[in-house]
Amino acid sequence: MIKRIVKLTFRKEEIENFKSIFRESKNKIVSNPGCHSVELLQSKKDKNIFFTYSIWTSEKDLDNYRHSDLFRNTWARTKVLFSEKPEAWTVESLGRVMG
């Protein structure tokens, strides 16, 4: 399993537009082969900063999604809303403790 974290910073006036795009896309994203979940997080301090957190079976599954029409179309609608360049990390868990 891999996890994908993407930091997205939007112009304040575009926050609701982005939330709408995410609501429209989230079920389609998670229906991609190998996608186990996708979550949207918003910074408590800076309300224009968001993170997407998704869990994938493999990097191949993530790459297949990233080369799909769904990704291309969603990204085209999203990237025009940014105020800063997005940042992304693909990570794997080295251990987890739950209390």
Sole residue written with tokens 């599954």 = 61
pLDDT at res. 49: 98
Measured CA to CA, the distance from residue 52 to residue 7 in angstroms comes to 7
Q: What are phi and psi of 82, to 5 degrees?
A: -70, 150
| pLDDT grade for 41, boundaries at 50, 70 and 90 | very high
Measured CA to CA, the distance from residue 96 to residue 3 in angstroms comes to 13
pTM across the whole model: 0.92
Q: Where are the domains of the chain?
A: 2-91
**CATH no., domain 2-91:** 3.30.70.100
- Residue 66 makes CB contacts below 8 A (sequence gap 6+) with none
Checking if the pLDDT of 99 tops 90, the result is no
Using only C-alpha atoms, the chain has a radius of gyration, in whole angstroms, of 14
Sole residue written with tokens 């990233």 = 66
| pLDDT grade for 61, boundaries at 50, 70 and 90 | very high
Mean pLDDT value across the chain: 96
Angle at 92 between CA 98 and CA 84, to 5 degrees: 105
| pLDDT grade for 96, boundaries at 50, 70 and 90 | confident
Measured CA to CA, the distance from residue 68 to residue 19 in angstroms comes to 21
